[in-house]
Amino acid sequence: MKTVLAVAAVIRDGDRIFATQRGYGEQKDGWEFPGGKIEAGETPQQALVREIREELDTGITVGDSLTTIEYDYPAFHLSMRCYWATLCGGEPVLKEHEAARWLRADELDSVAWLPADLTIIPLVKEKLTER
């Protein structure tokens, strides 16, 4: 099975997380943490900055690693490194997504997450509610 190496930004603003709804492809309409594939010669952090610029027309500051998701979709294995991030380049502009929402910990279950992204929702909730 083919392995896809990807990155995702868990963009945080205080007690809220930025979630996006895919606007294309097999996973259209599913909710995800924004990001994408790592290109040859890029570090995961460089890929994440590039992907957010391409998808949301804004900059981010990449923070600590949150986790790495290993998930088997029917057609490929996804290995996705997830990082905390904050916006640093203005408000996001949706270029590839249908919708976006800022969600608090108690709202994270209100959207239909893609299967791989869903696996880290408990961890994100835990980190958001830590004092």
Helix (H) or strand (E) holding 83: strand 77-87
Tally the domains of the chain: 1
Residue 103, pLDDT above cutoff 70: yes
As a residue count, the chain comes to 131
> Model confidence over 46-69: pLDDT tens digits?
999 999 999 999 999 999 999 999
pLDDT given for residue 125 in this prediction: 95
What is the predicted pLDDT for the residue at 131? 59
Q: What pLDDT score was predicted for residue 61?
A: 98
User: For residue 25, what are the domain limits?
Assistant: 3-129
No. of helices (H) and no. of strands (E), the chain: 3, 7
**At 58, which CATH number?**
3.90.79.10
The percentage of residues in the chain with a pLDDT greater than 70, rounded to a whole number, is: 99
